[in-house]
Amino acid sequence: MAQLNTVRPKPSFNIFDFLYKYGTILLIFLLIIVFAAANPAFLQTSNIITILRSISIVTIIAIGITISLSVGGFDLSVGSVASLANAVVISMFVWYSQPTLIAIGIAVSAALLVGAFNAFMIVKVKIPDLLMTLATMFIIQGVALTYTRGATVSQNMIMADGSYATGTISSLFAKLGQVPYIIIIMLFTVVIVHIFLTYTKHGRYLYVIGGNQEAARLSGIPVNKYKVIAYLLSAIFAALGGVILASRVMTAEINAGGPYLMDAVAAAFIGFAVLGAGKPNAFGTFVGAVLIGILANGLVMMSVPYYAMDIVKGTVLALALALTYYKLK
pLDDT of residue 315: 83
- pLDDT score for 261: 94
pLDDT higher than 70, residue 4 = no
Q: Could you tell me the CA-to-CA distances from 117 to 10, 66, 136, 272 in Å, in that order?
A: 54, 19, 9, 28
Quick one: 68 exposed, middle or buried, by C-beta within 10 A (0-12, 13-18, 19+)?
A: buried
Q: Whose CA is closest to 189, among 62, 50, 24? A: 62
Average pLDDT over residues 285-298: 94
pLDDT at 312: 80
Cα(264)–Cα(185) distance, integer angstroms: 17
Q: Which stretch, 18-22, 132-136, 325-329, has highest mean pLDDT?
A: 132-136
Q: What's the pLDDT score for residue 68?
A: 97
Give the chain's mean pLDDT.
91
pLDDT given at position 1: 47
pLDDT at 307 over 90: no
Q: What is the pLDDT of residues 225-234, one digit of tens each?
A: 999 999 999 9
Domain 41-328, CATH 1.20.1050 — does that match?
no
Q: Provide the residue ranges of all domains of the chain, joining segments of one domain with +.
A: 41-328
Residue 36 predicted with pLDDT over 60? yes
Of 13-22, 119-128, 172-181, the one with minimum mean pLDDT is 13-22
Listed in sequence order, the DSSP H helices in the chain are 15-38, 45-70, 78-94, 100-119, 129-148, 171-175, 181-199, 201-211, 213-218, 223-249, 260-270, 282-301, 309-328
Give the pLDDT band of residue 308 (cuts 50, 70, 90): confident
Encode pLDDT of 246-287 as tens digits.
Answer: 999 999 998 999 999 999 998 999 898 888 788 999 999 999
User: Tens digit of pLDDT for each residue in 45-102?
Assistant: 999 999 999 999 999 999 999 999 999 999 999 999 999 999 999 999 999 999 999 9
